[in-house]
Chain A
């Protein structure tokens, strides 16, 4: 790491073996929005530090607009980060390949998109997608027979080999997503970025795709960054889960640890909203208002008073939670994201709208 480290102290949740497959440091992305006269900058990502270990599924959860897809789009180099480092497999790619990603990089990092109806050209046969990926990537000549490789790929994603000759438009959503995964696997990548890979699929086949992801991680040791708003699936499929809010990370750690013992009020807020048939009387408006207030205007932190904690309202200090093996940390509750960012993020609710549209009413509503 040559650029300035975010803090000098060792960060809770940092990589134990120090060789993560993806390592983001201070990743920041600004977008210019608005027209000629209302031009302004929106910060989609603010100083993201995140590690994905080899052979690990890391889930990135948060509400829409929290910046989780922007992280994936920066890593796959569809977006140019405003600042910060993206270190993949030991290479700082923004510095080494500033203009565009190299062929080699694209082979290492593959992406599976949300919509398998949009990501596969319907008029091509399944064979086309896989063959093209293999030939472009490995440089296998036109004449060489790659039939066995194709069949192997199909078997890996649990599709019968005779589907190789069907057209994409003939496939169901689940089958298409499996083809998209096979296409990513054809590159023999080290890491797959999966952006909501199951949200467009029919519910009954959803779990099959999640199981496939678990198996690829186990059998092939492929790392994944799994982006989702579905916390239950993150708990099911991911080794670790990181929670995003308003373009920043608020909590991270072993999935079961984060979900069963959420430490940050925003994580608690998200989890309390997940529909859960086993939980009686789930919605409590008073508790909801308390959590919302704690996210936006917290003035106290459970770690306050601990001289080693170093609570701060301006720096996103990380506090270690529970067993160190869980690598569970939570952002200091005292930290306040900028008012504009936070108000935009706790979206689609009346308190937020009051903040934006009726600033005068803000005091009395709180």
Chain B
């Protein structure tokens, strides 16, 4: 369940919201912020952790396959990233020549580590013509 949808079940939580007209605005603000942070935590834990590679068509890999998945595997191999850290690869063609790749990872820390390694790799070999968002 999405934490932002959770209704307070405890008596204290109910009172806090029922008495919102009497409570100082800071309490309500704090509760809203807490709810937002809980929602963000939920996103981190339950939603797929994805990076988007733009400019994938510029990659000059030794082993060029027509299959984008194989090319992502080769990129990971070249950048010294274990291929089994990713859980899924999807791609789109925003135009005839462009390829945007979406790679899903098992969790937040793995995604951040891969981003760090790939940014270094792209900076070193591709001078930022491929980028991550």
Partners in one complex: no
